A and B are shown apart, each in its own frame.
Chain A
């Protein structure tokens, strides 16, 4: 269990994380979702005691991180797969981590086996591909057999096989009753793995909800219609008391009813339809709507780029 209370991080004027309060519970995969630069990594670094909060508190099983004895046995984290000395072999990298927390050497062999790196255990990490580096980082997180696991963007840059492996691993870990906290900027990725969602934008909490709830609330279903007799169709639909959204061109979108009813209405009034299709707004769209106001670096095609402070570019997000 991880508890955040009023967690805040300021870099000078800029607020990276703004008064975050939420709890990450055991037994499920909790997705930590937000656009790039929303403060996910900063929040995770504060959870691990790497960055000091400006205000607020994080507790791991009720304790501050630096109060944990042998912290790798409580919480394992993958922050950055490249955070490894390239000149060290995979085995020695894991061995020095294990020794610092009093974890026996045989456990190093076990986790290497779990992530499928046994055959390259004696190879230097600088020769590793991104996927192998990611696996090495995950091996490090699993080393202490911790009850809590934290992964920062674990599928970034992985091939489909690697992505599938990580998804399965996270679900397995949660099914064993562990707390699994995983960040991503892709809603589609979360939809496949997470049971619970914490969404942030510009460092602020936007949603803290179960995945099922989020889907029910945010995924809008509607029917899309195209017709050469658009005006008449509009009248008919209005008369029937339906809400119609005119979306560009000849296309209409109708909420709150099925395609059958619209089809029957059109037939009764002898109207020609070129399209009649039930639609479901993707979760990605729902996520975009939710975070629209808070996205920091919009890719506007018409508007000028938002004003940036000097130095914003190299600040870690």
Chain B
């Protein structure tokens, strides 16, 4: 009853601001378009690759190449959904209407997560099919071993990135602070930590490095990652749960 009211209210909130539409459409367009571009370039470059590179050629993963940039739009979506309330002062009006803070947060994040999931899944499938179309003879098919898992995983990955951002924004409240931490972290720091030998062992337990594993169908040569695709996604889920728990505890305790 009360939960349904909060969900209806949060749905009205999310659909009635422009930022929802532009962040999500940017995520879709960037992920698909960049994926298609890189797929087309890879198809052209295939002949020039050495045999080792050809062995680890992963057409599914290549069609998701746009996600590295598209996820930034998902981060903005996740951050704005939460921090809009704080930057406008709306949070006081909202909490006066729904004083049960746990229920309020669950309703808000539930609605935003459901929306992100639908958009992410559609994006993942679209990016896969359009990317494969660009790859021509080197393409993978949805029926191939592990491919369907990777595509669904891609949708889950994008969703989890958004939810993680919502959790962080709930803790930090300020949109500028949240974006200032999340954007460079996911765009630069994480991939640096994950690719430099010295920090690789830690870097691969970061949410995006671990979660991204599920989008791989062909493992890289000399792969020594200590977790599989679902294990990696599980690690990412733990990060998300931690961010949400932190956000919940702070919201519960803090003066609005």
Contact = CB atoms under 8 A, between A and B. Distances in A.
B88 A86 contact: yes
Given A50-B256, A52-B255, A80-B92, A100 B97 contact: yes
Given A87-B19, A101-B5, A49 B92 contact: no
A83 B256 contact: no
B8 A99 contact: yes
Contacts of A69: 2
B92 A79 contact: yes
Given A68-B99, A71-B99, A99 B255 contact: no
A71 B92 contact: no
B95 A96 contact: no
Given A45-B255, A49-B95, A96 B16 contact: yes
Contact of A50 (B6, B16, B18, B92): B92
Residue among A49, A82, A86, A99 facing the most chain B CB atoms (10 A cut-off) = A99
A65 B90 contact: no
A205 interface: no
Instruction: Give chain B's interface residue range (CB within 8 Å of chain A).
Output: 20 to 34
Interface string B86-97: 001111111111
A77 interface: yes
B interface majority secondary structure: helix
Contacts of A51: 255-256
Residue among B2, B19, B85, B255 facing the most chain A CB atoms (10 A cut-off) = B255
A234 interface: no
Contacts, number: 93
B29 to A, nearest CB: 21
B176 interface: no
Interface string A90-125: 001001111111100000000000000000000000
A308 to B, nearest CB: 22
A141 B31 CA distance: 43
Contacts of B8: 99-100
Contacts of B93: 79, 83-84, 97, 140
B13 A83 contact: no
A96 B107 CA distance: 13
Contacts of B10: 96
Nearest to A137: B93
B251 to A, nearest CB: 12
A238 interface: no
B135 to A, nearest CB: 40
A85 interface: yes
Interface string B8-34: 111011001111000000000000000
B98 interface: yes
B82 to A, nearest CB: 12
Nearest to B95: A50
A66 B17 contact: no
A89 interface: yes
A275 B89 CA distance: 55
A12 B6 CA distance: 35
Residue among A68, A69, A84, A97 facing the most chain B CB atoms (10 A cut-off) = A97
A84 B17 contact: no
A18 to B, nearest CB: 17
B96 A71 contact: yes
Contacts of A71: 96-97, 99
Residue among A50, A65, A66, A70 facing the most chain B CB atoms (10 A cut-off) = A50
A52 B99 CA distance: 12
Contacts of A89: 16
Contact of B17 (A50, A68, A88): A88
A117 B10 CA distance: 23
Nearest to A316: B255
A101 B238 CA distance: 33
A24 interface: no
14 contacts: A45-B92, A48-B92, A48-B99, A70-B2, A71-B96, A71-B97, A84-B89, A85-B17, A85-B84, A85-B90, A92-B13, A96-B12, A99-B5, A101-B97
Query: What 5 A-B pairs come out closest when comparing CB atoms?
Result: A100-B9, A83-B89, A92-B16, A66-B99, A99-B9
Interface of A: 45, 48-52, 65-66, 68-72, 77, 79-80, 82-89, 92, 95-102, 140
Given A82-B88, A83-B91, A98-B9, 13 more contacts: A48-B95, A50-B95, A65-B99, A69-B2, A71-B97, A72-B96, A79-B93, A84-B89, A87-B17, A87-B18, A96-B16, A101-B97, A102-B1
